[in-house]
């Protein structure tokens, strides 16, 4: 079932989760252990992030050696395995960064064969690796181009001319939204206009970057609605559970952490950070639900302990 169908058909608030593939060489049974703990909350869908290759430099006896490898492969395989094992819809992430359009088309064809109906189209982080383009291959630079490629496949338009008679795909396309604006956007108004263009290109829902003050989400939704964006906008939340989050989350995701939250965590003993973060996110959830938000998306990655404790308190 498509994400939009889950949202339309549900009679209760929906809770979804986002996980990341295990490091290269990991065991998928570790992923299943995570899902085993999450299914009790009846998630309608689970997102699986994607990671392109990265460049690493190693010092050797003969000089500096450049190595290119993917640290966390397996997005498609994990997505299909979860759907087949648990009968939960999955949303594999598709990236512009590190992938050619031709590789993206192959991935989409494979996902379509395997019965995956949802994808999230994002540009991806700049990890220092630029995909070499050879033999006439091309790449998507921005998410809107990736959305356009998927939309064309939904119309039966493929890059591979030998697939001219292929059936159209039927993907539900999600995109990212940034309540505090994307770090490269000059202002929030510019960012909202770009979100509108992604919707016009074929995006059917938006899931936001994490935020720790609901005012950013409510203002972002208002601005989107004023701009004519009518698709669902799902709030994305992250639970702070360590003092290290106070520095690495703003650094990696370009979001603000309220002074009240950061101050409370800094003044407390480190072992109390998780409980503080859970209670903060609980208040966010309650305010969102009291304002008729129909779905909340949690960025949990591999650590499920905080979200389990939160869900026990939320008692949906």
Cα separation, 203 vs 220, in Å, equals 17
Evaluate whether 227 touches 196 at the Cβ level (below 8 Å).
Answer: yes
Pairing of strands 63-69, 54-60: antiparallel
* Of 65-69, 264-268, 276-280, minimum mean pLDDT range: 65-69
Instruction: Give per-residue pLDDT as tens, 146-188.
Output: 999 999 999 999 998 777 678 899 999 999 999 999 999 999 9
Instruction: Tell me what the pLDDT averaged over the chain comes to.
Output: 90
Q: What is this structure's pTM?
A: 0.92
CATH code for position 133: 3.20.20.220
Evaluate if residue 27 carries a pLDDT over 90: no
Q: Which domain holds residue 274?
A: 3-314
Residue among 282, 278, 201 at smallest CA distance from 242: 278
CB atoms within 10 A of CB 309: 18
Average pLDDT over residues 74-82: 94
Is 65 in a helix, a strand, or coil? Answer: strand
Is 277 in a helix, a strand, or coil? Answer: helix
Give residue 56's pLDDT: 44
DSSP assignments along 60-99, one per residue: ETTEEEEEEE-SS--HHHHHHHHHHHH--EEEEEEESTT-
Cα separation, 270 vs 265, in Å, equals 8
The confidence band for 127, taking pLDDT boundaries of 50, 70 and 90, is: low
Instruction: Give per-residue pLDDT as tens, 36-72.
Output: 999 999 999 999 999 764 444 455 555 565 454 555 6
Evaluate whether 216 touches 179 at the Cβ level (below 8 Å).
Answer: yes
How many structural domains are present in the chain? 1
Cα separation, 191 vs 182, in Å, equals 7
Cα separation, 159 vs 99, in Å, equals 14
């Amino acid at each position: 079932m498509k994400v939009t169908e889950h949202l339309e058909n549900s009679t209760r608030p929906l809770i979804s989760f986002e996980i990341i593939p295990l490091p290269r060489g990991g065991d998928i049974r570790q992923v299943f252990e995570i899902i085993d703990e999450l299914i009790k909350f009846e998630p309608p869908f689970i997102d699986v992030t994607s990671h392109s290759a990265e460049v690493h430099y190693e010092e050797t006896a003969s000089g500096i050696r450049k190595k290119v490898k993917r640290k966390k492969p397996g997005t498609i395989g994990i997505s299909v395995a979860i759907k087949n094992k648990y009968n939960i819809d999955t949303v594999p992430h598709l990236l512009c960064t590190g992938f050619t359009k031709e590789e993206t088309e192959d991935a989409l064809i494979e996902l379509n064969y395997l019965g995956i109906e949802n994808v999230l189209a994002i540009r991806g982080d700049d990890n220092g690796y630029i995909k070499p383009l050879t033999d006439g291959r091309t790449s998507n630079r921005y998410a809107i181009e990736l959305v356009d490629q998927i939309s064309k496949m939904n119309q039966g338009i493929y890059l591979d001319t030998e697939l001219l008679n292929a059936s159209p795909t039927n993907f539900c396309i999600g995109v990212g939204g940034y309540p505090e604006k994307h770090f490269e956007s000059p202002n929030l108004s510019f960012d909202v206009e770009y979100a509108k263009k992604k919707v016009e290109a074929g995006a059917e829902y938006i899931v936001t970057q994490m935020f720790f003050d609901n005012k950013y989400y409510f203002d972002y939704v208002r601005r989107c609605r004023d701009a004519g964006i009518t698709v669902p906008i799902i709030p994305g939340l992250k639970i702070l559970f360590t003092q290290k989050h106070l520095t690495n989350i703003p650094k990696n995701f370009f979001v603000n952490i309220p002074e009240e939250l950061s101050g409370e965590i800094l003044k407390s003993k480190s072992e109390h950070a998780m409980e503080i973060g859970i209670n903060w996110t609980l208040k966010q959830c309650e305010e969102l639900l009291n304002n008729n938000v129909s779905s909340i998306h949690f960025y949990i990655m591999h650590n499920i302990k905080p979200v389990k404790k939160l869900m026990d308190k939320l008692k949906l």
